[in-house]
Amino acid sequence: MGKPTGFTEYLRELPQDRSAAERTADWKEFHFHMPEPKLREQGARCMDCGVPFCHTGQLVSGMASGCPIHNLIPEWNDLVYRGLWKEALERLHKTNNFPEFTGRVCPAPCEGSCVLGINAPPVTIKNIENTIIDHGWENGWVVPEPPAKRTGKKVAVIGSGPAGLCAAAQLNRAGHLVTVYERADRPGGLLMYGIPNMKLDKQEVVLRRLKQMEAEGIQFVCNTEVGGNLPAEKLLKEFDATVLCTGATKPRDLPIEGRQLGGIHFAMEFLTANTKAVLDGHKNGSFIDATGKDVIVIGGGDTGTDCVGTAMRHGCKSLVQVEILPRPPMDRAKDNPWPEWPKVYKLDYGQEEAAAKFGDDPRVYLTTATKFEADVHGHVKAVHTVQVEWTKNDKGQFISKNVPGTEKVLPAQLVLLAMGFLGPEQPLLESLGVERDARTNAKAVFEKYSTNIKGVFAAGDCRRGQSLVVWAFNEGRGAARECDRYLMGATNLP
């Protein structure tokens, strides 16, 4: 490394964020850029450890440890420290098709397994990654690179989310003619409509990359639902191979009393309609407005946080986020050692914004909803909650039990259900005859990705279940490799 003692000389620093009051007035990204000298210092903190864990990409205790796409993190940290930004970009693009996406929305399991993190704050890997690619775009280093020759093979990719885009990019690189089908009116899937604009800008970041892909020869066909207005059988006849990357879009419901009331929506209904309104410049009939309302968000993950941030920008009257799990500790617990993903408390951007306006973290832990109460118009007006405690049953499984005497009634004119996803929607898989596993996901072996239908591959959340964007990248790239091998008999794709 260029600075072997850097980790002893420099403290971890992150770029400042725009103030909560300022950023909730618009839909722009909320991070400032860090000056280059500071970034080079942060790169110098990478400690030349004998066995780096940051790029391992393995599952430890069921959670990602290290980068699932095996980014060459120590190499580009060193190049950043030396000021060799273009060389750092070349290293980054070897493993990551879209670092501007992971640099903004990935929870950074690489940092959770950073060796420096054993006894000090880890290297700011995510911020360095994001800055490398932003430098690349700003300096004109990221340009369309169409393949030198075409194979004549045609591949359909169904779904234009993270896995679909990676699969398409890699298959196009191999010289195949790639068509990506998307049922929404814009390509990008989760990246376009599932993640709010302030976290991932659509015009400046997502559409910029999609235009580059189109210039490289990839065709996007929107407003097209395979198995719906485009028969799946027609697709199989017209293409030499098909890659399913439809995501796990079936939301987990909360079937308690009053669920049918107006004003109760799945998180993705809320987020998708909002982003569409931001991009279109006007609200349409599907827009769900939180303005002036008491909002309850049920679910404590990233999607719940995005609902909080979006409701804050609407100008909600109050906001409570209900989380059934206990509040995480401030530091790693003894049963959560390095290099596991650190399950520690953090105030994410949405909660930070709510705390700035309402005075405290909006999350209430160890709490569940028991009933939705109606007004005279059949619309939700309150949510009944109760505290829970977690115990083990006779099989050793954790179960929750309601705690008597802890009931509360919270006012609510808008309830957003953000409790995760159960798997892919089934009609397409059924129409293709794709075999499913016990969790209703498309059945395909990891790192092989082939389904029971010849020439049909599955990758991303529709195969593995709800997971991180970076795992979708891993699977999209892997499915492209195996699809190329199927088409050509061998492959040079990584």
pLDDT tens figures, 280-318: 999 988 999 999 999 999 999 999 999 999 999 999 999
Residue 1 has pLDDT above 70, yes or no: no
Q: Among residues of the chain, what percentage have pLDDT more than 90?
A: 95
Give the CATH superfamily of 253-419.
Answer: FAD/NAD(P)-binding domain (3.50.50.60)
* Per-residue pLDDT, 242: 98
- Average pLDDT across the chain, whole number: 96
* Per-residue pLDDT, 147: 97
Residue 2 has pLDDT above 80, yes or no: no
Q: Do 45 and 116 form a contact (C-beta atoms < 8 A)?
A: yes
Q: Does 1.10.1060.10 match the CATH number of domain 6-138?
A: yes
Q: How confident is the model at residue 192 (pLDDT cuts 50, 70, 90)?
A: very high
Domain boundaries 154-249+422-488, corresponding CATH code = 3.50.50.60
Residues 457-478 have a mean pLDDT of 97
* Per-residue pLDDT, 271: 98
* Per-residue pLDDT, 50: 85
Residue 48 has pLDDT above 90, yes or no: no
- Over residues 15-34, the pLDDT tens digits come to 999 999 999 999 999 999 99
Q: How confident is the model at residue 72 (pLDDT cuts 50, 70, 90)?
A: very high
Residue 376 has pLDDT above 90, yes or no: yes
Integer Cα distance of 206 and 405 in angstroms: 49
**Beta-strand pair 177-181/241-244:** unpaired
- pTM of the predicted protein model: 0.95
- Over residues 113-125, the pLDDT tens digits come to 999 999 999 999 9
In the chain, CATH 3.50.50.60 covers: 154-249+422-488, 253-419
